[in-house]
Amino acid sequence: MKEIVIGIDIGGTYTKFGAVDRSGTSLAEDSIPTGEHEKAEDFVSRLAEKIRAMLAGLPRDLVPKGIGIGAPNGNFFRGTIEFAPNLRWKGIVPLADIFRNHFDLPVYLTNDANAAALGEMIYGGARDMKDFVLITLGTGLGSGIVVNGQMVYGHDGFAGELGHTIVDPAGRECGCGKRGCLETYVSATGIRRTVFELLAEYITESSLRDISFNDLTARMISEAADKGDSLALEAFERTGRILAMKLADTVAHVSPQAIFLFGGLAGAGDLILKPVRRYLEEYLLPIYRGKVCIMPSQLSEINAAIAGAGALVWNALT
Amino acid sequence: MKEIVIGIDIGGTYTKFGAVDRSGTSLAEDSIPTGEHEKAEDFVSRLAEKIRAMLAGLPRDLVPKGIGIGAPNGNFFRGTIEFAPNLRWKGIVPLADIFRNHFDLPVYLTNDANAAALGEMIYGGARDMKDFVLITLGTGLGSGIVVNGQMVYGHDGFAGELGHTIVDPAGRECGCGKRGCLETYVSATGIRRTVFELLAEYITESSLRDISFNDLTARMISEAADKGDSLALEAFERTGRILAMKLADTVAHVSPQAIFLFGGLAGAGDLILKPVRRYLEEYLLPIYRGKVCIMPSQLSEINAAIAGAGALVWNALT
């Protein structure tokens, strides 16, 4: 008999799911489109069917111990998805309860960045750490904070929204309705905005001058930087500086041993890591200097979301 | 038999101490000057003598359960005072260990803002809360963060230095060596700097034009504001706005139920509370709006420091 958990990562486009063992290894995986069902109930019915089919294909000695779900705007305390801008289901969706109608298993739900942080703690680079932070750099900027070995959920289950800390209250327009939020500068979208700001500011030649805003991707920027494009390099420099400035504030709050960078933009490696490390030391209060490691997540991108969601169950079982 | 604890508040000028019961009531209090002894060992010997004298004067049925110490730059994990700029003892002082040579009691030490936060949790307005933040507004700005019912110390015991989060990386010079730290704007000293900025910026008449920087106190500013002085009122407005902007970041980290303001500048009441509350709602991510209470500390100023230090022991006993 071997214990497994079911990890589910609900994204704007696809929902991926898998059976994950205690080491984070995925024994089977599958996915369905997220947006095809108008009602969350119908979506979960379809998903439950596919999960049963996946489990049926696995050896008999595997025992599922629970279901962990990572979802945008997921609330751990209530098991709900609340006002998620990128999902079709509006308002407050009691997703964990809907799952409980289909499975006689414990169901845990949190937001995707918290799930990734738990994944880092259970299977990844934070296995020996009690105080760390994980930053997801995708379309937006998400975060999961662990203090004293526990996920920080706050009084309402919504703690850890570092993407909406303020860089400049009169700064860039953010999708949340505010201005100058961190994710408008530091994310795959943020660095594109920075490139366009630099293209306007300087007359330097750049391969990025031939690409429209909508066509530009973070990968194109890192490829240009790798080829020595000075505007692209400056975009990473600015992005790293702003991230470091706000991470210095994070350190002043919770004094973590390490901060992990996860997701798309983190894939740029030293292009982003080096300026973050350099500026962080400058912005830190002297008592913190030289103590905080900035490192890439040690979860592999492909399974991280599923394994992270599964980590919610392992974490509850321990 | 009744249990008591010994609370000690080490300040730059005076060290206050007292015997505190479980309700936070101080049964006896005394103080000695902090700076008279060149060696920390001699200071503790003198303090131990005075504490014994105080205990000897109390009823025989009181049983001391431990010693709690709040000190600038106090480190909970190590029981040390580390590089405190306002104390005479330089470097790392193993204060808790020195105390243990004099008393056969558990000794706990942390920084003064953490001690105040524990006081708020054990005796004050946070008695029913698991997630809250306390901000001390004195000469500088200190903070204590409680998550899930536990004090946040971080991996190194130095978490919760919100006074050194960054308002403007090119801003006001700070004693820590950085620029633009929150406490250079929001503290008794910070609001004086803001008044002088306003006196330079505007030509408005103000009673504060007759006072030198060194003579100006935060109380004079709040008295002028109470009389309708528009520059003084604007100084509170700016101070409140900047504090709110940074507290919005704090909410995005730990999503507290309440934020308590404690110490000198908090005594200005609505002059500071109203702008903080108004701007906080503006700067908060929508999911947090209307949920976070900004309130004055419910610890009485006089005993708070001693009772807070004592709370370290009560917290360890529970």
Q: Taking Cα atoms as reference points, which of A139, A130, A135 lies closest to residue A86?
A: A139
Instruction: Report residue B232 as tokens.
Output: 């003084």
d(CA B48, CA B56): 12
pLDDT digits (tens, 9 = 90+) for A211-269: 999 999 999 999 999 999 999 999 999 999 999 999 999 999 999 999 999 988 998 99
- Yes or no, beta carbons of A285 and B178 under 8 Å apart: yes
Under the banding of pLDDT at 50, 70 and 90, the label for residue A87 is: confident
Phi then psi for residue B184, to 5 deg, are -75, -15
**Kind of pairing between the strands at B80-82 and B74-75:** antiparallel
CA B126 to chain A, closest CA, distance in angstroms equals: 13
Cα angle B191, B197, B198 (rounded to 5 degrees) comes to: 90
The shares of helix, strand and coil residues in chain B, as percent rounded to the nearest 5, are 40, 25, 35
d(CA A185, CA A307): 29
B59 Cβ contact partners less than 8 Å away, ≥ 6 residues apart? none
B162 contacts in chain A (CB < 8 Å): 252-253
Distances (CA, A) of B290 to A155, A164, B42, B218: 13, 17, 52, 30
pLDDT digits (tens, 9 = 90+) for A125-143: 999 999 999 999 988 999 9
Check pLDDT > 70 for residue A6. Answer: yes
B248 contacts in chain A (CB < 8 Å): 165-166
Instruction: Report residue A119 as tokens.
Output: 């994944």
**Whole-structure pTM value:** 0.94
Return residue ranges of chain A for CATH 3.30.420.40. Answer: 2-122+302-317, 128-296
B191 Cβ contact partners less than 8 Å away, ≥ 6 residues apart? B218, B221, B235, B236, B239, B265
| Probe site for chain B from A181, A247, A253 (most B CB atoms < 10 A) | A253
pLDDT digits (tens, 9 = 90+) for B5-15: 999 999 888 99
Domain A128-296 has CATH 3.30.420.40: yes
- Are A156 and A284 in contact, with CB atoms under 8 Å apart? no
A62 Cβ contact partners less than 8 Å away, ≥ 6 residues apart? A2, A3, A4, A19, A27, A55
Phi then psi for residue A180, to 5 deg, are 70, 20
β-sheet bridge partners, residue A14: A33
- Are A168 and A179 in contact, with CB atoms under 8 Å apart? yes
d(CA B86, CA B74): 12
pLDDT digits (tens, 9 = 90+) for A255-277: 999 999 998 899 899 999 999 99
**Kind of pairing between the strands at B62-71 and B107-111:** parallel
Check pLDDT > 90 for residue B3. Answer: yes
d(CA A194, CA A135): 19
Domain A2-122+302-317 has CATH 3.10.20.30: no
- Are A242 and A186 in contact, with CB atoms under 8 Å apart? yes
The reply to whether B77 touches chain A by the CB within 8 Å rule is: no
The reply to whether A159 touches chain B by the CB within 8 Å rule is: yes
Under the banding of pLDDT at 50, 70 and 90, the label for residue A158 is: very high
pLDDT of residue B195: 98
| Probe site for chain B from A83, A128, A287 (most B CB atoms < 10 A) | A287
